[in-house]
Structure 1
Amino acid sequence: MKRTLLPILVSIIIVLLFIFKFITVNNPSLPQSPSPTLTPTPRLESLAVRGSIPYWDQRPAFSSFTQNVSVFKHLSLFWYYLDMEGTIQKYQYADEDKSIIDFARSNNVEVTAVITNLPETLRTSWDSSRVEDMLEVEEKRSAHIEDILNLLSNLDFDGVTIDYEEVNPDARNNFTFFISELASELHNQGKKLWIALHPKLGNSSDHRYAFQDWPALSKSADYLYIMAYGEHYDEGSPGPIASISWVKKIVEYTRKQNLPLNKFYLGIPLYGYDWQENEEKATGLTYEQIENLRQDYGAMRLWDEDSQSPHFSYEDDGHTHEVWYEDRASVAAKVALADRAGFAGVTFWRLGSEDPSVWQLFN
């Protein structure tokens, strides 16, 4: 009797499993993630990795760095800005934690101090005037260079990252000359010079990014990184942060300029935005915040094949929200692109905001 029941029980179990699979696959209310086209794992033997720690999220960013320190060759610390008088200031809430520098150095990671022209409040845009004023007067340039050297010496930085953005194109020659002077003084003291570059698709002389003469700057700087993100931004319309087609155009432009690619790094975003309809500004989010949001609203992760980007939408209080972000798959596509193009490495903005599985690409 037991022998005759066994085949019947097995048949019932198989039928039940089939029914369960049919229900879960065909139920649109269950969030599902379409599988993206897999990007081949890039060859990473010679592709260096740089990360950035911002002062306003320093704890999670440093935690990410410590957990994945073997991945990195360079680290930048976003702590300083140029004030209206041409003096370097620490952001009010920045913690100059020397233990971060010491930990990085003990793990053979070079550390640079980032100096920006983003005002203290962070609520206004990048200020061109303070950079122009410093560039135009020899005494101010010399004083700024001296300030930089003192800063690097006091905290034992390996170098500096100059992140002066949205400067008037008329300052192009003065900026190039300043970088040449700065590089000479830094190299005399064994320090490195990094420059943050705006993404370029062409050579328009009247564009707000024209102040950066890439060929000239690359002769002085040790490394330059292209901020290949912001294709869609918080005050614009919804869309991918850095679609693969847009990034390809930036990379192609770079390669056509006959530049020393062994100095160039491709900047890759790790964050996302939540755009609410009829709102002027989107909300910036980390990967963890985005995943929590998606799960809270039962939203389905979608994959846009053209842009190689994940996204989803949801409804809240009668308003439609659209979220675009970066995850391991979208990052892998850009890392592979930098690798194929012959760049020296990739740099991530910013640590602590990423899909944790991103680092598996390098392990």
Structure 2
Amino acid sequence: MKTALTVLLAAAALAVPTAAPRPAPAPPPPVARTVSAWLPWWNTDVAYDDALRHADQLHTVSPFWYTAASGTDISGETGAGEQRIIDGLHAKGIKVVPTVTEVPDAASMTALMNDPARRTAHVDALMKVVASRPYDGLDLDYERMTETEDADLREQVRIGYNALTSELCTRLHALAKQCVITVMPRTSTTGHAYDYARLGTVADRLRIMGYNLHDALDKPGPLSSVAWYEEFLTYATATVPRARLEVALPAYGWDWTVGSTARAKHVTSQEAEVLRRRVGAEYVFDTASGTPHFSYTDTDRKRHEVWYQDANGSAAHLAVLARFGVTGSGLWALGFEDTKLWDTLALHGQGGAR
């Protein structure tokens, strides 16, 4: 009896069609990396750890490592070229594109850049930096050369810089390396030494420093503002393809002593918030600029004003980028920022992986 029942049950099981196996779920799409950031040499370990924690959002890190003291003398800061840093970033899929700044002033740089032989010698020196490590390119952050009120000299800087960057980018591209150029915002009063239209055709990315609207020698005020972003992005998006634009956000602030002509003290966004809490100052958010600030009196009874940036303010400025269709953002600098900023960047990330 038991054997017959077993046969009947087996037959019944064969008669019932089995459900087709469900296909394995598709893997989630990769997280879009929309952010580049500078790594300051004086805060290497903190900045490096910060980069690793947020590797899924970073496509490029630019260690602030090199300085051009002359046409052929390019020196490294403390820790420049540290292989541990390069390898660790590469292991996380992050490109390493070190930054080079310059020491010579406008007149000296004009003489160098507009002399074909000296210009090529300078490019040779820059290419030696690229070849010295497994770098993915170079970020040229030449600012001092633009500090002149002489319109004719500024025009010569513009012409020379166009020639320099064209030569450098051509040679970098021949090695499949990235050519990044960092510039000041182009407004009615600033950034005129940079030929955005030309630079935007030779560079892979044009990084606009979206900060220092008020600098350490100015009167107290916001480091950036919504209206200022709208002004320089109106010009930038009319002259440079949006895919090549990047706007670097500030992650720091200035602590001014009211009534003093002394240089304001630099504070990171984290330091500014710690200071605000320590002195018991009220958090005030300036909605017009999109910037937090506070005031306090020190132990010498001197009045201070601190303007800085945090995730709240960055959200207002990232919204401007979105309105202009700019998907690339940057950060000055790793290890400085409000920790909530990364969530804000993720919410406003509009672009794909670089």
Bin of the TM-score, shorter chain as denominator length: 0.7 to 0.9
The residue that corresponds to 2:249 in the other structure is 268
How many angstroms does 1:189 deviate by?
0.7
The 8 Å contact of residues 255 and 266 in structure 2, kept in 1 or not, is answered as yes
Q: Which of 125, 149, 159 is the equivalent residue of 2:137?
A: 159
Q: What CA deviation, in whole Å up to 9, does each residue of 1:31-71 have, x standing for no partner?
A: xxxxxxxxxxxxxx767210100111222211211111111
Letter in 2 for 1:105: H
The residue that corresponds to 1:247 in the other structure is 229
Q: Structure 2 CA distance, aligned partners of 1:46 and 1:99?
A: 25
The residue that corresponds to 1:190 in the other structure is 176
| Correspondence 1:76 to 2:70 | no
- Number of paired residues? 307
The residue that corresponds to 1:180 in the other structure is 166
For structure 1, the residue ranges without an aligned partner over 5 or more in a row are 1-44, 120-125
The structure that has the greater radius of gyration is: 2
Equivalences for 1:219-238 in 2 at 5 Å? 219-238=201-220
The 8 Å contact of residues 46 and 344 in structure 1, kept in 2 or not, is answered as no
TM-score (ref. length: structure 1): 0.80
Q: Which of 77, 98, 117 is the equivalent residue of 1:139?
A: 117
Secondary structure of the residue that 1:69 maps to in structure 2? coil
Letter in 2 for 1:275: W
Q: Which of 259, 266, 273 is the equivalent residue of 1:291?
A: 273
Secondary structure of the residue that 2:98 maps to in structure 1? strand
The residue that corresponds to 2:43 in the other structure is 57
Q: Structure 1 CA distance, aligned partners of 2:122 and 2:129?
A: 11
Q: Structure 2 CA distance, aligned partners of 1:208 and 1:246?
A: 11
Letter in 1 for 2:122: H
How many angstroms does 1:305 deviate by?
1.1
How many angstroms does 1:208 deviate by?
6.5
For structure 2, the residue ranges without an aligned partner over 5 or more in a row are 1-30, 146-152, 347-354
Q: Which of 66, 72, 86 is the equivalent residue of 1:86?
A: 72
Secondary structure of the residue that 1:329 maps to in structure 2? helix
Q: Which of 315, 337, 347 is the equivalent residue of 1:332?
A: 315
Compared CA separation, residues 129 and 55, structure 1 to 2 (3 A): farther
The 8 Å contact of residues 80 and 90 in structure 1, kept in 2 or not, is answered as yes
Q: Structure 1 CA distance, aligned partners of 2:60 and 2:110?
A: 29
RMSD, aligned α-carbons: 1.9
Letter in 1 for 2:158: R
Letter in 1 for 2:288: D
The residue that corresponds to 1:114 in the other structure is 99
Identity %: 28
Secondary structure of the residue that 2:231 maps to in structure 1? helix
How many angstroms does 1:212 deviate by?
1.1
Q: Structure 1 CA distance, aligned partners of 2:34 and 2:318?
A: 11
Q: Which of 79, 85, 90 is the equivalent residue of 1:100?
A: 85
The residue that corresponds to 2:194 in the other structure is 212
The 8 Å contact of residues 33 and 56 in structure 2, kept in 1 or not, is answered as no
Q: Structure 2 CA distance, aligned partners of 1:142 and 1:341?
A: 37
Q: Report runs of 4+ in structure 1 exceeding 6 Å deviation.
A: none
How many angstroms does 1:85 deviate by?
4.5
Q: Structure 2 CA distance, aligned partners of 1:101 and 1:285?
A: 27
